């Protein structure tokens, strides 16, 4: 269902709604944020910092970082998990691809009581850290820039008639919102910047289904687009669109019939400037968040094996069968595990179950292509496992896995699909996840990791964010 333009409140008719978003983006102060906004961002900052370090171990991505270094240029911005500085556009690509490399970052906007799949933070947080280093902002400014930029793109996302995977077309918008804050654009300039973000939106398209690494290049390219959009707007040389999102052939209005706006268009502006919405969900293992339940099934089956036999012996596993309840949309997570690669492992229910059966965990070091190829037993289990569907017992969504053992025993585990993704982790979990990746990176001493944790917990007290960002670089 869509709204006709004649039904929209006069004060929100395009371009007034987008103009209101732009004003709120550039005018918001730290004092407008809630305690929960600040606390959530501090947890997400530590989580994403760990992902930057963990992303450095992916061998398939190394050529791209080397390419950026060979191209060289002005030493404007820091390279996280690395040495040196590069032009800002190159540095944000380097840092954002690191953050997305293992698809382990926090995600999913929660707005108006609804959780919506989104992939903004893996671009916005490393990009914001890069810009914070270049511009030397305070911790409070860093937090404010991040929260209000996320709120801006969350409200645009909320209007989408079909959200996932269309949400990924808004990552360049998210990057531009961050850049607009650091470049101190005014509201009119912000709309110009958004014009180039919307008309040059990047989309990873079929890269997930085809297990192509482009899904992470998308984050880096979106960050580069955000910098270019801000530079274009700051120059004053080019004009923007009247309304890049909801105007004629706008990025969003183009998805509904002409003369209409999405049904949730007006609702998206409720509480603007009074309540700020951000991403809030954390991943428990590398890979797409839908694999959380499959991961849990593998761990439960391994624990049942220990309880029955006193130990977990993967050699005794004869077969593994994984099932989705029939109310879960079919997608690439349900394809056979067949490529024996890092990207295939990140988006496979069958691999998630089998990895946890073999190792009791699904860490970033275990999902790298060389590690997968080195474990013939894991490859055999995952490739020979099956994927099926079954009727939901109660209308909820579930992942179920069964394990057949050599002695004929069959063990079963079933996990609530949605609840597994929505569970809020403890601070202890977030810190343990950070250490998992910091240790896998292995190029910085422990005291640096301890200082990162300490500063992330009091980031709003920092006068200069370079006190934090300097810890993310090699000397």
pLDDT for position 475:
86
Q: What's the confidence (pLDDT) of residue 192?
A: 98
- Give the confidence band of 205 by pLDDT, cuts at 50, 70, 90: confident
CATH number at residue 297: 3.30.1330.120
As a whole number of angstroms, the distance between CA 365 and CA 139 comes to 32
| CATH number of the domain to which 14 belongs | 1.10.4100.10
Q: Angle CA(133)–CA(236)–CA(178) in degrees, nearest 5? A: 30
Q: Is residue 87 located within the same domain as residue 233?
A: yes
Are 323 and 206 contained in the same domain? no
Omega before residue 15 within 30° of 0, cis:
yes
Q: With 80 as the cut, is the pLDDT of residue 1 above it?
A: no
| pLDDT over 90 (residue 194) | yes
**Phi, psi angle pair for 49, to nearest 5°:** -60, -45
Q: How far apart are the C-alpha atoms of 42 and 99, rounded to whole Å? A: 16
Are the C-beta atoms of 207 and 215 separated by less than 8 Å? Answer: yes
Whether 242 maps to a domain, the answer reads yes
Q: Are residues 457 and 348 in the same domain?
A: no
| Residue that wins the pLDDT comparison between 368 and 209 | 368
| Cβ-contact 197, 172 below 8 angstroms | yes
What does 395-454 look like in DSSP terms, one character per residue?
SS-EEEEEEEETTS-EEEEEEEHHHHHHPPPPHHHHHHHHHHHHHHH--S-HHHHHHHHH
**How many structural domains does the chain have?**
2
The conformation of residue 283, written as its DSSP 8-state character, comes to -
From 422, 449, 464, the end of a domain falls on 422
Shared domain check, 182 and 67: yes
pLDDT band at 365 (very low <50, low <70, confident <90, very high): very high
Q: Say which DSSP state 330 is in.
A: P
288-326 residue pLDDT tens? 999 999 999 999 999 999 999 999 999 999 999 999 999
Q: What is the spatial distance between Cα 96 and Cα 175, in angstroms, rounded to a whole number?
A: 10
**pLDDT grade, residue 273 (50/70/90)?**
very high
Asked if 386 and 311 sit in the same domain, the reply is yes
Same domain membership, residue 454 and residue 413: no
Backbone angles phi, psi at 394, to 5 degrees: -145, 15
Q: Tell me if 225 is assigned to some domain.
A: yes
47-70 pLDDT per residue, tens: 999 999 999 999 999 999 999 999
Residue 15 vs residue 162, higher pLDDT: 15
Q: What's the chain's length in residues?
A: 475
Q: Give residue-wise pLDDT tens across range 124-156.
A: 999 999 999 999 999 999 999 999 999 999 999
- Residue 63: Cβ within 10 Å count: 8
Task: Answer yes or no: is pLDDT of 201 > 90.
Answer: no
Query: So what's the pLDDT on residue 19?
Result: 98
Contact call for residues 185 and 23 (beta carbons, < 8 A): no
Burial class of residue 425, CB neighbours in 10 A (0-12, 13-18, 19+): middle
Residues 368 and 448 in one domain: no
- 163 shares its domain with 36: yes
Average pLDDT over residues 26-43: 98
Domain of 411, in residue numbers? 289-422
Q: What's the pLDDT score for residue 135? A: 98
Per-residue pLDDT tens for 339-349?
999 999 999 99
- Say if residue 260 is in the same domain as residue 397: no
């Amino acid at each position: 269902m869509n709204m006709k333009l004649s039904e929209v409140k006069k004060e929100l008719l395009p371009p007034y709604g987008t103009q209101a978003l732009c004003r709120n983006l550039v005018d918001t102060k730290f004092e407008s944020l809630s305690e929960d906004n600040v606390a959530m961002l501090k947890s997400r900052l530590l989580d994403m910092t760990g992902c930057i370090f963990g992303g450095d171990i992916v061998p398939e991505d190394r050529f791209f970082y080397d390419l950026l270094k060979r191209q060289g240029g002005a030493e404007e911005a820091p390279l996280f998990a690395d040495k040196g500085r590069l032009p800002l556009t190159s540095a944000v690509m380097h840092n954002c691809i690191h953050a997305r490399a293992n698809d382990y970052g926090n995600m999913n906007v929660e707005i108006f009581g609804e959780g919506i799949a989104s992939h903004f933070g893996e671009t916005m947080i490393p990009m914001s850290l890069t810009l914070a280093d270049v511009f030397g902002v305070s911790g409070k400014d860093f937090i404010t820039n991040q929260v209000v930029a996320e709120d801006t793109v969350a409200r645009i996302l909320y209007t989408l008639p079909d959200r996932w995977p269309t949400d990924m077309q808004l990552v360049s918008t998210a990057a531009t919102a961050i850049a607009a804050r650091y470049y101190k654009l005014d509201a009119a300039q912000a709309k110009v910047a958004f014009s180039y973000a919307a008309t040059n939106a990047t989309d990873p398209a079929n890269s997930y289904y085809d297990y192509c690494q482009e899904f992470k290049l998308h984050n880096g390219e979106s960050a580069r687009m955000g910098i270019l959009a801000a530079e274009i707007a700051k120059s004053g040389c080019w004009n923007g669109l009247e309304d890049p999102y909801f105007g004629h052939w706008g990025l969003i209005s183009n998805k509904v019939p002409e003369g209409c706006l999405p049904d949730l268009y007006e609702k998206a502006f409720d509480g603007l400037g009074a309540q700020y919405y951000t991403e809030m969900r954390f991943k428990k293992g590398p890979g797409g968040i839908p694999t959380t339940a499959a991961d849990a099934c593998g761990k439960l089956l391994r624990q049942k094996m220990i309880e029955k036999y006193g130990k977990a012996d993967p050699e005794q596993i004869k077969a593994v069968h994984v099932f989705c309840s029939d109310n879960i949309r079919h997608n690439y997570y349900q394809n056979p595990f067949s490529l024996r690669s890092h990207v295939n492992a990140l988006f496979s229910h069958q691999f998630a179950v089998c990895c946890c059966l073999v190792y009791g965990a699904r860490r970033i070091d275990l999902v790298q292509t060389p590690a997968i190829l080195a474990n013939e037993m894991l490859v055999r289990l995952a490739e020979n496992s099956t994927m099926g569907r079954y009727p939901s017992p109660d209308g909820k969504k579930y992942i179920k896995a069964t394990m057949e053992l050599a002695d004929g025993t069959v063990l079963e585990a079933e996990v609530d699909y949605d609840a597994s993704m929505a569970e809020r982790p403890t601070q202890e979990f977030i810190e343990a996840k950070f250490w998992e990746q910091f240790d896998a990176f292995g190029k910085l001493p422990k005291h640096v990791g301890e200082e990162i944790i300490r500063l992330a917990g009091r980031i709003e007290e920092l006068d200069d964010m370079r006190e934090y960002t300097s810890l993310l670089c090699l000397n």
